[in-house]
Amino acid sequence: MAARVPARRFSPAVVRAAAATKYFGVRAGDDEHRFLGIWIVEVGGRLFARSWTLKPRGWRAVLRRDPRGAVQIGSRTIKIRARAVRGERLQDAITAAYFIKYNTPSSLHYCRGFARGRRRASTVEFVPAS
């Protein structure tokens, strides 16, 4: 059995910029579609996102079919690959990161939604495209 190759990681500068920014753009697939606004959280130097709407043509569904895409962090556009997230401890840490980062009264409704069911299961990790 072949050993699993570890995923590439974003530079510390990109992770810091992501941790300091509330809203991000994501473009799913390799096409030149528009960027959609999403929330990204950082856990252990890694970047994660959850889908709110879970639409069949939404960014998460497109990334399931084709994991290539791009994110906008500040003024930078970075090509990414999306990976499904497994593991309850990691999912719990991501949930906690949402509650810490998006802690305004109006944001808590969305954090509670991200913490449950299909939205929690929609979690993806963004890694730099190789």
The domain containing residue 118 runs over which residues? Answer: 12-128
SS (H, E, C) 27-72: EECCCCCCCEEECEEEECCEEEECCCCCCCCCHHHHHHHCCEEEEE
Predicted pLDDT of residue 8: 80
Confidence of residue 6 (pLDDT cuts 50, 70, 90): low
CATH number, domain of 87, equals 2.30.110.10
Per-residue pLDDT of 15-71, as tens digits, reads: 999 999 999 999 998 776 789 999 999 999 999 999 999 998 889 999 999 999 999
Residue 83, class by beta-carbon neighbours within 10 Å (0-12 exposed, 13-18 middle, 19+ buried)? middle
Whether residue 2 is contained in a domain is answered as no
Whether residue 115 is contained in a domain is answered as yes
Confidence of residue 4 (pLDDT cuts 50, 70, 90): low
pTM confidence score? 0.90
d(CA 23, CA 5): 30
Confidence of residue 7 (pLDDT cuts 50, 70, 90): low
**Are 97 and 47 within 8 A, CB to CB?**
no
Tell me how many domains the chain contains.
1
